Structure 1
């Protein structure tokens, strides 16, 4: 059967088995430890229900999502400008390339103490960490997309009398849309990781704060609840939004 499927170009999809496998592994491992060290999935679900019933879970989710939206949106706008400029201008590209390498080599969470000194504890310092984490990987991805534009497209537009502004609007930007959608995926994942890490250090609410406080009071169910929410939100956003956008524009680019 397997050979027949491969012969006709059909590859079996076992993705649906990943979550059940993880749950079975979790239950088997948790059975070897007391509940206060490694609780079972249903104990974590019960903890989640307590947070939902009290209304506290929505407070944490909304706080994290608002911080993510603010920092990520600012990073997208700046990365679009930097990436387009670096892709078009060789001079600006030579200037920003070392900065990209420098900032991408520094773990975003390393900026958290400095942002807390500058902005104080709270939203602004966390948003700053999110911005730093996302802007440079996105700018580099957009730059690579602009550089990949075919020379023939640019020559054709110039022959037709296109100005620099028209080249930017009608050639560079549309042709770099697939790279932009890829940049959004990369930037969101970086921003989400930075958000959680920053909340664990200097926040009074949010999913990262949930994980941190659960660890401090020895509540393993709360810790695993927070970790599960972090992974679930990232996976849903990646699968339902960014991956579909990227697939759409990748197929559009080939036409």
Structure 2
């Protein structure tokens, strides 16, 4: 195997792993995909060191070792599925290595993202029905859906403008608590606790917590605590936002 192909194999593995980890994949799945790419390229001994902030990939008996930094973490499982689909096409020889690399290089821009209005509707559909399921309170379903949609909109815009973790969750929770309290005071809603519980559901870090547990069970003793701490800090930010309202109102 020529040196150029080795470089391309490593580059393809790195970009595939980065996209998967950035968008909510657990470490075991990302590593498995990278190893399958290498095996299908004729490399059976790829070495990977993966964390939530970076990847190191090398091939023994060669001078090639590269690092890929991971600067952001989001939840976009459609991109994770797209990487897996491209990997399967590569395994089936439907695309070659160069085409695989090019498709991965444009995946972030080529993968459609749900428009803002549809995300708002999704947040409303998550908030109201979940509140009704948890508390059997049908009377507050619509106000909870409305408050949840507003809270998610605040989270969305602050996250895009500031791009600072935990601030957007704190402010969104603050607004949710404020709207819940005043909706009950105005007679629109009946139970403040139920409205808040349902409205914060779109902000709850369920996927990071799940991935932290899965990483721990798979033996990733660096990534699992890091993801768990990040998820806990998100939960703390949400809790502080709600507690602030209860303390001063």
What's the TM-score, normalizing by structure 2?
Answer: 0.27
Q: Give 1 or 2: higher strand fraction.
A: 2
Structure with the bigger RCO (C-alpha within 8 Å, sep 6+) is 1
What's the TM-score, normalizing by structure 1?
Answer: 0.27
Q: Give 1 or 2: higher helix fraction.
A: 1
